Structure 1
Amino acid sequence: MKRKTTLGMVITLCLPAVGFAQADSTTSMEMKNMHQSNHAAMHVQGMDMQGMQKSPPAKGVASTSYKATGTVKAADPAAGSVTLAHGPVRALNWPAMTMTFLVKEKALFNKLVVGKPVNVEFVSQGGKYVVTAVN
């Protein structure tokens, strides 16, 4: 008799704990689903997609050309690079800044005079930005 009473008490005491555990897991699952759906919605609704840069084109495909207006800060024909203090480039969502570009052709250095204002066209190639034209 003592054994039946002990077993009954154990079962009686454990049942509420099982119920709570089940309620907690259901609540956790509901919370997880709610978090995931809100997280997905946040990525779409909270993001300004207008200024996002597209992935670079595949090899053999013409790349997009961008334009910038700025002042030549340094030119290094031996390294094939030019440093420009340029204004915003809206197509790439860039603010005004000073940065170094590679230069596609050595002949372009004739127009890249330190201290002079320039208009340049450039492309993205392999993660680098390359000046392709100077006006």
Structure 2
Amino acid sequence: MKSITRIAAALALTFGLTLSAIAAQAASISGEVKKIDESAGKVTLKHGPAKSLGMDEPMTMVYRVKDPAMLKQVKVGDKVTFEAEEAASGYTVTKIEKAK
């Protein structure tokens, strides 16, 4: 009986981690850096659909960045994946990294 409980717990944990990974992928948006404005803490990104933000069409947008240090990780022309959230002041990039 203990082994069945352990197996069930292991399966539940695995299932939960898999769902978390799927959710993280759904939140990631693929794009390209078009412009960086370090003084304003903004980046212009050309990207595909951003389902996590309710955007079904590709577009180019200016985003604020949560941490201006993120702008040092990328340069114009880089292919990136990023995550963003909608706030009262507009859309804000919370995470950005060069695409692999």
Identify which of 65, 68, 87 aligns with 2:48. Answer: 87
- How far residue 127 of structure 1 moved from its aligned partner, in angstroms, is 4.7
TM-score (norm: length of structure 2) = 0.65
Provide the secondary structure at the position in 2 that maps to 1:107.
helix
What's 1:23 paired with? none
Between Structure 1 and Structure 2, the one with more helix by share is 1
- Of the two structures, which has the highest relative contact order with CA contacts closer than 8 Å and spacing of 6 or more? 2
Structure 2 counterpart of 1:71, from 32, 43, 55 = 32
Q: CA-atom RMSD, angstroms? A: 1.7
Unpaired runs of 5+ residues, structure 1, are 1-65
Aligned residue pair count: 71
1:94-113 equivalences under 5 Å are 94-113=56-75
Cα deviation digits, residues 45-72 of structure 1 (max 9, x gap) = xxxxxxxxxxxxxxxxxxxxx4311000
The sequence identity of aligned pairs, in percent, is 36
* Structure 1 residue aligned with 2:77: 115
**Runs of 4+ residues over 3 Å off in structure 1:** none
Q: Please tell me whether Structure 1 or Structure 2 has the larger radius of gyration of its CA atoms.
A: 1
